[in-house]
Structure 1
Amino acid sequence: MRALTLCITLLLLIACSSKKRNTDDLDFSKLLLPVDQQNILYDSTENFNWGASIVKGEDGKYHAFYSQMRRKYGFKSWLTDGVISHAVADSPAGPYMHLNTVLEGRGPDYWDPYTVHNPWIQKYGDNYYLYYISTNLNNQTLSTDEYDQARHQWIDNKYRALVRENQRIGLAFSKSVYGPWERLNSPIVEPAGPIETITCNPAVTQRPDGGFLMLVRGDKPNVNELVRSQAIALSDKPEGPWKIQPIAAVGDLNAEDPAVWYDKHRNRYYGIYHAFGYLGLITSEDGLNWQKAKHYKVSDLEYQHKDGRTIKVARMERPFVYLENDKPKVLSVSIKLDNGESYSLFIPLKQS
């Protein structure tokens, strides 16, 4: 009888130890700290600033790569005339100082002749990899007036629609965070599976098996209106080839701009996206099957200032989570105000 009891106890212990512990306990909303002017990258003269992706350079400083749109063309010119600029700081939360423009349209002899936008920077091995989006006219020619319509109108304008539907993801790489940057001569991801029409807004992280995972935005197929969807692409190398997987990461709501990282302490992936009214958190154990995280809501369209104010904003987009020692250190977001002004915001995160 005693032997039977010991056997049952042993079997129960084995069963309990083999049952996987749910590690989805990240409450990102509780990490957000107040900010001040040092955490804002703003250009009051020539450009609208938008988004930022952060990497630590070989010089020990922090480097932000961010989008700029010329004020003379208007905010919507991100699709036609955007550039990617470079700023540097001694802290990942700023203050950042603008250095220079690093990528812009290369002209009609290339696939990315006009705009470059929405950068995502990472260092893998000896190289810095700068992912971006661009577009072209699919071998068509637009007059100055037609291109100006594409620059200022919405997608119900046929010229704007033409520029929009040719969006793709490109890649530049460099041995130094200061460049020079060498670009691949063709896009790295084409629409497939759960997305169609476009590929844009890449977010890349390394998988625990050594490969790479990208969340990529496209249009949801088989709907009669614009619904954004997030697909998963996998590759053995940072430059590709990338293969889009059949199941969407976010396919049940209109959302975009996912930031993604692998949480080594929880042994799972996390992603933050904006859903046109808030930031939400998704998670996955294998990178293929995603769901809303236990603590799903990250932020409403607001942030806290160190002086006690709650700053309400019109748009909060392009989240990027900078990791240091494998833990979230800074959340950068794009901010647009009701008056049309925009800036890149670097929110410091509470460290545990």
Structure 2
Amino acid sequence: MIKANEFLALLIAVSFYAVNIEAQVTERARPTEWNNIVEGGRFVDRFLPIPPIGPLTQDTWGAENVIPRYVNNGIEDDKWSYWGGNILIGDDGKYHFFVCRWLEDSPKGHMEWPESIVVHTVADNSSGPFKVLKSIGKGHNPEAFKLKDGGYIIFVIGGHYYSDNINGPWEYREFDFDARDREIPEGLSNLTFTQREDGSYIMMCRG
């Protein structure tokens, strides 16, 4: 049987928990000025749908709620799950998309991502369809960028690939960060890079 003082302590703890949950919800009235915003005046209006490429098809993989769809946008097939990546425009005028993938039928499903492989894909435009040129190596959360000296970096969790040419060959290396007297957190997994005027890059961790 719960003693009176134990029950009181439990009641106080539950009350504080409930107050904290309620404190995270703040109801605000919609500003009346928003009623005067013309179409295109909002930030969200800058996000436009990708123009469809090719026909709308039923003959593809996936659940009922994603069929029919356009399968030539970006990159997809029924063998691989694709993840992350970004696009660089090469000197050849083509769009080079560095992305990682793992087998779609893996028993681990999405949790197969630690075994993902970075691949180099290419298309004639930014929307696709992208075709795989070659496998680069093991890695996840790839992000590619071009260095001031003309070389290329593909960041992956735990390190990066380097090449003098966007088409490779690629060499795996580890980063040597200048912490600038700051603590580098553990688990650097979602990094992005911003180039400074002197050609160096600031690494930002997105969590």
TM-score by length of 2: 0.61
- What CA distance in whole angstroms lies between the structure 2 residues aligned with 1:200 and 1:188? 15
Identify the residue that residue 117 of structure 1 maps to in structure 2.
Answer: 140
CA distance in 2, matches of 1:39, 1:194: 41
Bigger relative contact order (CA 8 A; separation at least 6): 1
Matched, 1:199 2:188: yes
2:75 pairs, out of 41, 49, 61, with: 41
Residue 208 of structure 1: how far off its partner (Å): 2.8
Cα deviation per residue 1:9-37 (whole Å; 9 max; x = unaligned)?
xxxxxxxxxxxxxxxxx965332221223
Shift, 1:200, TM fit = 1.4
Matched, 1:131 2:155: yes
Moved over 3 A (4+): 186-196
SS in 1 for 2:142: strand
The one-letter amino acid paired with 2:134 is N
Q: SS at the partner of 1:88?
A: strand
Q: 1:91 to 1:188 in 2, by over 3 A?
A: same
The aligned amino acid for 2:196 is R
Q: Residue 111 of structure 2 aligns to a residue in which SS?
A: helix
One-letter identity of the residue aligned with 1:54: I
- Residue 73 of structure 2 aligns with an amino acid whose one-letter code is N
Give the strand-richer structure, 1 or 2. 1
User: For residue 65 of structure 1, what is the aligned residue in structure 2?
Assistant: 98
Letter of the structure 2 residue corresponding to residue 119 of structure 1: P
| Secondary structure at the counterpart of residue 94 of structure 1 | coil
Distance 1:205 1:102 in 2: 23
In the alignment, the residues of structure 2 paired with residue 102 and residue 32 of structure 1 have an alpha-carbon distance, to the nearest angstrom, of 32
Q: Distance in 1 between matches of 2:118 and 2:169?
A: 14
Structure 1 residues 28 and 211: alpha-carbon distance in aligned structure 2, compared to 1, 3 A threshold: farther
| Aligned residue identity for 2:150 | D
- Alpha-carbon deviation of 1:102? 1.2
- Greater Rg, structure 1 or structure 2? 2
- Provide the residue aligned with 1:101 in structure 2: 135
SS of the residue aligned with 2:204? strand
State how far apart, in whole Å, the 2-side matches of 1:182 and 1:215 are: 23
CA contact (8 A) 1:189 1:199 kept: no
Task: Choose from 114, 122, 125 the match for 1:91.
Answer: 125
Aligned partner of 2:88 in structure 1 is 55
Question: How far does residue 194 in structure 1 lie from its aligned partner after superposition?
Answer: 6.3
> Secondary structure of the equivalent of 1:41?
coil
Residue type of the partner of 1:32? F
Unaligned runs of 5+ in 1: 1-25, 105-115, 134-167, 217-229, 231-255, 257-352
**Share of identical aligned residues, percent?**
31
Q: What SS is found at the alignment partner of 1:30?
A: helix
| 1:52–1:67 CA contact under 8 A, matched in 2 | yes
8 A contact 1:85–1:103 mirrored in 2 = yes
**Does the aligned pair in 2 maintain the 1:86–1:100 contact within 8 Å?**
yes
Kept after mapping to 1: 8 A contact 2:85/2:144: no
Across the aligned residues of Structure 1 and Structure 2, the Cα RMSD in angstroms comes to 2.6
C-alpha distance in 2, partners of 1:32/1:90? 22
Name the structure with the higher helix share: 2
TM-score by length of 1: 0.37
Matches within 5 A, 1:235-274: 256=207
Question: Is 1:182 matched with 2:171?
Answer: yes
Report SS of the residue matched to 1:199. Answer: coil
**Residues 99 and 142 of structure 2 are in contact (CA less than 8 Å); yes or no, is this contact kept in structure 1?**
yes
Change (3 A) 1:69 1:203: same
Show structure 2 runs of 5+ residues with no match.
1-40, 53-69
SS of the residue 1:118 aligns to: coil
Question: How far, CA to CA, are the matches of 1:198 and 1:95 in structure 2?
Answer: 33
The yes-or-no answer on 1:30 pairing with 2:45 is yes
Say if 1:173 and 1:181, in contact at 8 Å, map to a contact too.
Answer: yes
Amino acid across the alignment from 1:40: G
